[in-house]
A and B are shown apart, each in its own frame.
Chain A
Amino acid sequence: MAKDGPTSLERFINGILPENPVYRQILGMCPTLAVTSCMKNAMTMAAAVAFVLICANLVVSLIRNILQPHLRILVFTLTIATFVTIADKVLAAFMYDTSKQLGPYIPLIIVNCLIICRCEVCASKQGVVTAFFDAVGNSLGFALGLATMATVRELLATGSWFDIPLFWKEGTPSETYRWSLMGLAPGAFFTLGLLLGVANWIAEKFAKKQTA
């Protein structure tokens, strides 16, 4: 492997689809399952993760040359925990309702393996610019993953999207068609399983096309 590794552009593009954090790397499953019952929560989570990931990648990339290899995980965790706490406080101050709904899942970003993975794979080896684009690409990929999950679940569970009622409206007889289970934990697993299957099927088709 070349010392420089993939370029900024490759990192950026890889993060979104070819190495999508949710569907290809299977990282960050805890928020993927827990906060995707509606779009608003999912997108708040995606934004918080993006903030933490970009900041952590930048800091780690800046200090990568003075980092002791055997202490690196400690430093990663320290950095991530700091930015997560900042994100948590900012949410509690400016988006109180959403912050209350997300509950412990914002502090739990600390143990989101996506962030530590990006620090380890990219930021601790490559320059600030590449680390930045890697973080942005992966954040977008993660947001895309959460958005697809949340779209399916919110539509089926409540008939709305971003809290905008589309069908099965409150107070109409069709309200009974709501598939409440999709808003609960089992619905999260069903949706993830099916979407992972779809993602694998698409990836397989794509790989065949390239070799053919």
Chain B
Amino acid sequence: MTKYIKQGWLVVLLALAFGAALAGVNRALDPKIKLNEKNATYDQVPNVVPGADKEKTQPVAKNVLQAFDKEGKPIGWVITATGMGYADQIKALIGLNADASKITGIYILDQKETPGLGSKIATSKWNSQFIGQPANEPLSVHKRMTEAQKQEKNGKIDAISGATISSKALTDKVVNPAVAEFRTALQAGEMTKPKEVETK
């Protein structure tokens, strides 16, 4: 027994010392890391719901935030949606206007699509075409749309050339189901009293 203590005391001592050091580091940095995680979503709220105030944004349900303008008037909703892309899960924020009739913006939080092709779903140059699209019916992806067709905003999304699968994944597996689910919940009256739900 003494042989083991003689040989192992340093390992035990180091383990204790390092453990304590890590606990200290975690205690000091954890609040900041949590805040970073929260901000990653909240910072984007004004980008997907124009005019929204980041500080006034409130969670109303799992994966749903309600956006308010500076005067505290509700002006829209932000849904966090995930779905399978070409390579891995795509995680996106979808902004909707107050009556959830139109999409006001989209932001990709996380994607691992093919760099240079599918990764273009994260560029505002491509995904800005979601802005103004109707939310009451599922959007559909089409190839080679003209500039004029894109401006019609009739629920048609132009596919990225060379990345139709990624374009369809974002539209069919991320945006459409999340928007439909949210609208059903909204109509059922599950999103009406944000401040009471917030505590849950």
Chain A residues packing against B (C-beta within 8 Å) = 37, 63, 66-68, 71, 74-75, 78-79, 81-82, 85-86, 89-90, 92-94, 96, 100, 157-158, 171, 178, 180, 183-184
Contacts and interface: CB of A to CB of B under 8 A. Distances in A.
A71 B10 contact: yes
A89 B22 CA distance: 10
Interface in B2-21: 7-8, 10-11, 14-15, 18, 21
Given A93-B29, A157-B116, A85 B22 contact: yes
Contacts of B117: 180
Contact of B11 (A74, A90, A183): A74
A2 B117 CA distance: 58
A75 B10 contact: yes
B18 A79 contact: yes
B33 interface: yes
B40 interface: yes
B11 A89 contact: no
Nearest to A68: B7
A89 B33 contact: yes
Interface in B66-112: 110
Contacts of A82: 18, 21-22
A97 B40 CA distance: 9
Given A78-B15, A79-B18, A180-B115, A67 B29 contact: no
B188 to A, nearest CB: 35
Given A78-B18, A85-B22, A157-B115, A63 B29 contact: no
A90 B29 CA distance: 7
